[in-house]
Amino acid sequence: MFGPADLSRKLKPMRTQNARIQTHSNKKLKLVLNIQSAANLPERIDKKPMNVLIEATFQSSIARTGTVSGKNANWQQTLILDVDDAIDIHHDLKSITDVLELNLYDKQINKLPHDSREPNTIHEQFEHRWLGRVVIPFSTILTLTKIDGIITIKEPLFFTGYKLHKHKGYLKVMITMDPPVPAPIFSAYENFLPGETPTLMAECRKFEVRNRQLFLNRRYVALVNDSNGKRILASRYLRPIKPPYQIQEILTNSNNLIEAINLTAHIVSCIPFIADPIMFPGVVDLWTTTEQASFYH
């Protein structure tokens, strides 16, 4: 069933790979968010009750949940945000670079000073105190077609009037699109020129496919993309690098190995790093040599 097709036996069933077809609909695309619950939210120092809400923002659309009390809030609400794909003349969803933001607020009601001229009027002010946020790129939603799980909440560096827990806060959500959109078909090998021999390229593909079937949760990279737009064997970048002269002087003069290691770690930490957004499965980072990295910096 899984081997090559046997044309002499017409009744023998064979498995075929069905190509996914990108469907287009006139229906307006929307993001559907099911805000479920949160855990380990910051607590107020004055022990007053918290009224937590979530504000979802994507492009120009904004939606909010109701308020729920407690550090382990439970909403179970559904929010809907519009997706504006008119930014590209071809309505290509892959060209959308916006992110979905989920901001958590503590809604407080503060009473204003009483006005003696209006004895029957109560003046109150609503205040939203930011507790943290979750940022999800649209490319991640488009690639996975559905996100259902627990996401870490990025909290502020400083809190006034709140105390943090030892463990990070988490938000449980489910995000999908309506109408459903199939995941884009993308192959990293089709967009770069081969930098190795055809035989080596084929063996690298076999290596990645074979090992990904054995260990589904591991990432295997045999070929990488260089600065010239070619696919190069990853092991060609593995070579010893001569340390800077400052480290050599430390080892020569004082033979202080600990000081040399600390200086080496500091130099490595100063190397600029920009995270490449992995928009589709199979895309790898752009690899450069040490000379190219120094030149770009």
pLDDT tens, residue by residue, 105-124: 999 887 777 777 777 777 77
Q: What is the pLDDT of residue 228?
A: 80
The residue among 161, 176, 170, 31 whose CA lies nearest residue 104 is 170
What is the pTM assigned to this prediction?
Answer: 0.57
DSSP 215: -
Domain boundaries, the chain: 30-178, 191-296
pLDDT 10s digits, 224-272: 888 787 888 888 888 888 888 888 888 888 888 888 888 888 888 877 6
Q: What is the pLDDT of residue 86?
A: 60
Q: What is the pLDDT of residue 213?
A: 86
CATH homologous superfamily of domain 30-178?
Answer: C2 domain (2.60.40.150)
In whole angstroms, give the CA distance from residue 102 to residue 58.
9
State CA 11 to chain mean position distance. Answer: 47
Q: Which two tokens stand for residue 229?
A: 């737009």
* Least confident window among 61-70, 160-169, 284-293: 284-293
